[in-house]
Amino acid sequence: MIQTRGDLSGHHDQQNHLIPVLKKTLSQILKVAGFLALGILLLYFAFRGIALDSLLETLREANFWWIGLSLVFALIAFLSRARRWVLLIEPLGYSPSFRNTYHSLMVGYLFNYALPRLGEVTRCVTLGKKEKIPVDSLIGTVIMERVFDLIMLLLILLVLLVGRMEKFGAFFSEQVIMPLQQKFEGTFGGALLFWLLFAGSLAIVLMLLYFYRKRLDHFIVVRKSRDIIKGIIGGLKTFYQMKHKWEFVFHSFFIWFNYIMMTWVVVFALRETSHLTFIDGIFLLVVGGLGMAAPVTGGFGAYHWITSRGLVYVYGLPLELGGAYAILTHESNSLFTILLGAVSYTLILLSRKKESLNVSEDSPTKAEA
Q: pLDDT tens for residues 57-93?
A: 878 889 999 999 999 999 999 999 999 999 999 988 8
Residue 23 has pLDDT above 70, yes or no: no
Burial of 323 (0-12, 13-18, 19+ CB in 10 A): buried
Task: Report the run of H or E that residue 52 belongs to, with start and end.
Answer: helix 52-60
> How far is CA 157 from each of CA 6, 121, 253, 273, 312, rounded to the nearest angstrom?
67, 28, 14, 22, 20
Residue 107 has pLDDT above 90, yes or no: yes
Burial of 93 (0-12, 13-18, 19+ CB in 10 A): exposed
Confidence band (pLDDT; 50, 70, 90) for 176? very low
pLDDT of residue 188: 47
329 CB contacts (<8 Å, ≥6 apart)?
70, 263, 266, 284, 288, 303, 307
**pTM of the predicted structure, to 2 decimals:** 0.74
pLDDT of residue 287: 86
Question: What is the average per-residue pLDDT within 327-343?
Answer: 93
Residue 187 has pLDDT above 60, yes or no: no
Round to whole Å and give the CA distance between 251 and 122. Answer: 23
Using the 8-state DSSP alphabet, how is residue 96 labeled?
-
First to last CA, the chain: 50
Q: Is 316 left (phi over 0), alpha (psi -120 to 50) or beta?
A: left
3-state secondary structure 293-344: CCCCHHHCCHHHHHHHHHHHHHHCCCHHHHHHHHHHHHHHHHHHHHHHHHHH
Could you give the angle at the alpha carbon of 339 between the alpha carbons of 338 and 345, nearest 5°? 85
For residues 314 and 283, is the Cβ–Cβ distance under 8 A? yes
Break the chain into its structural domains and give their ranges.
51-353
258 CB contacts (<8 Å, ≥6 apart)?
73, 74, 76, 77, 80
Round to whole Å and give the CA distance between 211 and 207. Answer: 6
For residues 260 and 282, is the Cβ–Cβ distance under 8 A? yes
Q: Residue 12 is which amino acid?
A: H
For residues 268 and 66, is the Cβ–Cβ distance under 8 A? yes
Q: Which residue has the higher pLDDT, 115 or 25?
A: 115
Q: What is the CA radius of gyration of the chain?
A: 25
Round to whole Å and give the CA distance between 58 and 168. Answer: 26
Q: pLDDT tens for residues 356-369?
A: 766 666 655 555 55
Question: What is the average per-residue pLDDT within 195-205?
Answer: 67
pLDDT of residue 234: 63
pLDDT of residue 136: 85
Question: What is the average per-residue pLDDT within 327-352?
Answer: 92
Q: pLDDT tens for residues 243-260?
A: 888 899 999 999 999 999
Task: Report the run of H or E that residue 272 belongs to, with start and end.
Answer: none
Q: Residue 97 is which amino acid?
A: S
pLDDT of residue 245: 86
pLDDT of residue 103: 96
> Mean pLDDT score of the chain, rounded to an integer?
77
Q: pLDDT tens for residues 133-164?
A: 988 888 888 888 888 888 888 888 888 777 66
Out of 120-129, 199-208, 297-306, 332-341, least confident range:
199-208
Q: Which of 79-93, 105-119, 306-320 has the highest mean pLDDT?
A: 79-93
Q: Residue 237 is which amino acid?
A: K
Round to whole Å and give the CA distance between 48 and 301. Answer: 12
Q: Which residue has the higher pLDDT, 76 or 353?
A: 76
Round to whole Å and give the CA distance between 86 and 102. Answer: 9
pLDDT of residue 253: 95
Q: Which residues of 22-31 are buried (b: 16+ CB within 10 A; e: fewer)?
A: eeeeeeeeee
pLDDT of residue 109: 94
Q: Which of 4-8, 62-66, 242-246, 299-303 has the highest mean pLDDT?
A: 62-66
Helices (H) and strands (E) in the chain, counts: 14, 0
Out of 145-154, 187-196, 205-214, least confident range:
187-196
> How far is CA 280 from each of CA 100, 165, 236, 261, rounded to the nearest angstrom?
36, 12, 31, 11
Task: Report the run of H or E that residue 27 belongs to, with start and end.
Answer: helix 5-47
Out of 190-194, 230-234, 291-295, least confident range:
190-194
